[in-house]
Structure 1
């Protein structure tokens, strides 16, 4: 039921005590003895409080920073902070509500942490794009995945500007190390087109391994591709780039017409058209971590 405003600032009696009426349009309150408007400029004095600094969008609470890294929940992060397990730029921080910048050096129990959610993007690279994160290099693979995620992902390894095929991007340093580990690494399968048929004796030499300037050059597998001419070669290596491929065939006096990465570990180009990308599924990520 609506309430009527009394005249002359008087309150109407009620069996339940006085009603507190306010004109929300004018800001006047019938319970205000002075009769002054409570509009801006005439509001009653409030108790002074400590001025609050404007929120800096570049800052993030330390407990949230830690929680975003996947180490623990915010509540658990507060406990870790309180007992001195967290440092920021080399200094132990135990203050609750402490804020950090996204690029600060934050460490938990001595190990640097990344507050970004882990992202894994698989691109089927077309020709004409350089594999680099640097600007001023013309069209790059970063242009192709610009809308994939807000995370600061980077390509693992590289494909030449005119090479095509699969390229994996991530901000997960654990996965990056798997690929760059010289002893283990992750297998990549390439389809290579040569300017002429590969001689069988050259194929055998590549399979068995050979030395260039005293350095052993070895591949996991090499074979002719079934149903195609002998200049179409399948090559599996664990090196993160494709420069080793050119080194191999240059040594045996073959020119390379095309290099296409068709598989990275268990990942293939299925359902990824050239120039498109996809996010890895949880199952694909888990398998990648176990390689």
Structure 2
């Protein structure tokens, strides 16, 4: 099967590409700045099987031409301007996260693509789930209440997605990822990821450096990158979903307990954990819809995922000094 992946050398994109190439599929990556080094690190010699095209999703003529040449069976749209960068530049955020998303949907429709899977975000829900008195997981169909530009753009794009399904016949599904982590997360900093504290939490101890963890009482839903890729692949294999988008979750813990997990793996880890939270942040999202719609359930526990992440950081660091 032929796949066309935007943002295919980002964290989720690279792990997804790895899975698809290993399964014998053809992959064309469309990325504004393809990180071939990262692909090589993850995939090894098989990275040569991947065609990388440097392109901007806001450039509809070039996007359409490239997609037509690739003739994909499936389109995976992961390119985005993430949270912090979206807040800095509202016009660029609207251009990339909304117009760019429309361009993907239009191009997929024009190229008769059988299935489109794209990255939404739990940021569409905003602070509603943090209010005192709300118990249990936030339902998959909860009302959107974004309080950042990135979340607002993703919420609007979910409406676009619903339109293309209902009115244009496009088979499409959004995946609302919680906090995805894994080797290579630091490469997303330039795109405005809000998970820069993960470098302090995981990478620094792996390399013998001190780390400082803010908001130790915050409850975070950690999704390991290999689970995120699993969700993407399963979504590509599904069809005709009822939900417009589903929550892709992992395992929840406080940042304080996450630091304790790292210390158990790296006994000499120098981690300073601050008190407090980010406005009472408690990640707790319904996971049953993803299991029902695409057969996804997280497999990588926090201890297992952190350990693998730390081992990868150390292994890559060792290779770089040879």
Q: TM-score, normalised by structure 1?
A: 0.21
Higher normalized helix content (fraction of residues): 2
Q: TM-score, normalised by structure 2?
A: 0.20
Which one has a bigger Cα radius of gyration? Answer: 1
Higher normalized strand content (fraction of residues): 1
